[in-house]
Amino acid sequence: MRMTSGLLAAAMTAALLSRAVVAAEAVPTGKLPDDAKPLAYALDLKIDPKADRFNGHVRIKVRLATSADHLWLHAREIDVATAAVIDAAGKPHEAKLSVRDPSGVAEVAFGTTLPAQDVELVFDYSAPFNTKLQGIYKVMVGHDAYVTTQMEAISARHAFPSFDEPRFKTPFDIVLTVPRDEAVLANTQRTGYSESPDKKWKTIAFARTRPLPTYLVALAVGPWDVVDGPTIPANALRKDPVPLRGIGPRGAGPQLKWILGQTPATVKYYEDYTQQPYPFDKLDLLGAPDFSAGAMENAGLIVYRDVLLRIDDKSPASSYRSAFNVNAHEIAHQWFGDLVTVPWWDDVWLNEAYATWAQGKATVALRPEYLGDLSRLEGTLHAMNGDSQLSARRIRQPIASQDDIENAFDGIT
Ligand SMILES: [Zn+2]
């Protein structure tokens, strides 16, 4: 926000006159302040795809670096029913979450001043399923309701109160309660199952994730077809096999078999190249019936537009090629972006450039008949064309506002 000189003079006068001006601290619309750092999340969500809203109970462990009576985080179009901060001694304090900027910057007031320590924030809330394919959103196919997610770049704040920046990587414990007959998926393998006494709901607990930024959290609920792929075998770098599955809208399962069959070799290629094992405990490829991007590299649960993965004997050769290439790009991100994550959006070109570069290498090695080296040349010429415009932006564009973030995903990157 830019201030006029008159306003600035008035603000300085006010600062001299009163300590109350502290309450008028500027809203951090760029990066959040460094004095509060999330350490872990527990997300407990109740999701019925046939409803219009979902409910959440979220606990966030936070390290306060200095004494404070409030902190800043992100929440957008979320109705918080109760908020509390539990201090290091276990004492709860009623808190209040107030959204201070339309981009979803929110202040959490503790109602008391707490010294530097580890605290836990607890929120009970509800939120609508997003209608713009962001956060946790819902798509109807006929009478079937599918819920899935897209958090990148800054839409996790639609799904749960969060420190919605890539530099904050923490473990997530995810628990989902859904109607008993719905398929349900998240980033990791399931570890727990229970049913409500009336048998209408089931509650699935998922294994704690490796440290992830909020933008890589994913889940899905609905009448999905879930088909097993070939398990990705153990090898010298990784002692456990990686379960592989394909997920698509009702009836799409058989069309996912081809891409599932390609996937173990692609994973192995990157493991051999990086000498780093596949980083997560399973790999799901989910074709969503409506999706804002082409695909999204969520850790362990990659989401694609379903048309990109659905292949059968009537598909043209170009569909096989593009399915292979997009899958190889998203799998490359499991290392480049997911295992190693850039701290801020001005470096996101590293995510995209490394994944694109690695995909080209994998395609040339595994599918030489796709002429991946020519595709790479085409891509280079396309980027050079964009870069020759007077309006061309820098590769490492400074990110000053939330709006700049979306601009960082283009051909130049
Ligand atoms: Zn990418």
State the CATH number of the domain containing residue 300. 1.10.390.10
- Condensed to tens digits (0 to 9), the pLDDT of residues 146-171 reads 999 999 999 999 999 999 999 999 99
Share of the chain above pLDDT 70, in %: 94
- Condensed to tens digits (0 to 9), the pLDDT of residues 107-138 reads 999 999 999 999 999 999 999 999 899 999 99
Using CA atoms, how far apart are residues 305 and 302, in angstroms rounded to an integer?
10
Residue 409 has pLDDT above 90, yes or no: no
Share of the chain above pLDDT 90, in %: 84
Residues with CB under 5 A from ligand 1 (ion): 352, 355
The C-alpha torsion from 187 through 190 and 193 to 195, rounded to 10°, is 30
Shared-domain flag, residues 405 and 282: yes
Shared-domain flag, residues 278 and 353: yes
pLDDT of 411: 78
For residue 332, the CA-to-ligand 1 centroid distance in Å is 9
pLDDT of 5: 41
Shared-domain flag, residues 277 and 152: no
Shared-domain flag, residues 235 and 199: no
Average pLDDT over the chain, rounded to whole? 93
Shared-domain flag, residues 177 and 244: no
Shared-domain flag, residues 197 and 95: yes
pLDDT of 8: 43
Using CA atoms, how far apart are residues 246 and 227, in angstroms rounded to an integer?
5
For residue 212, the CA-to-ligand 1 centroid distance in Å is 16
pLDDT of 292: 87
Closest CA to 248 of 286, 203, 197, 200: 286
Task: Tell me whether residue 23 is in a domain.
Answer: no
- Condensed to tens digits (0 to 9), the pLDDT of residues 261-309 reads 999 999 999 999 999 999 999 999 999 998 888 999 999 999 999 999 9
Mean pLDDT lowest among 19-28, 221-230, 356-365: 19-28
For residue 295, the CA-to-ligand 1 centroid distance in Å is 8
Catalytic residue (choose from 120, 330, 369, 406): 330
Please tell me the pTM assigned to this model. Answer: 0.93
For residue 247, the CA-to-ligand 1 centroid distance in Å is 20
Instruction: Establish whether 330 is a catalytic residue.
Output: yes
Which of these three, 196, 223, 250, is where a domain ends?
223
Higher-confidence residue: 214 or 401?
Answer: 214
For residue 355, the CA-to-ligand 1 centroid distance in Å is 6
Please tell me the total count of domains within the chain. Answer: 2
Residue 391 has pLDDT above 90, yes or no: no
The mean pLDDT of 303-327, rounded to a whole number, is: 97
User: 361 pLDDT band (50/70/90 cuts)?
Assistant: very high
For residue 331, the CA-to-ligand 1 centroid distance in Å is 9
Using CA atoms, how far apart are residues 326 and 332, in angstroms rounded to an integer?
10
| Structural domain of 136 | 31-223
pLDDT of 23: 53
Using CA atoms, how far apart are residues 243 and 134, in angstroms rounded to an integer?
28
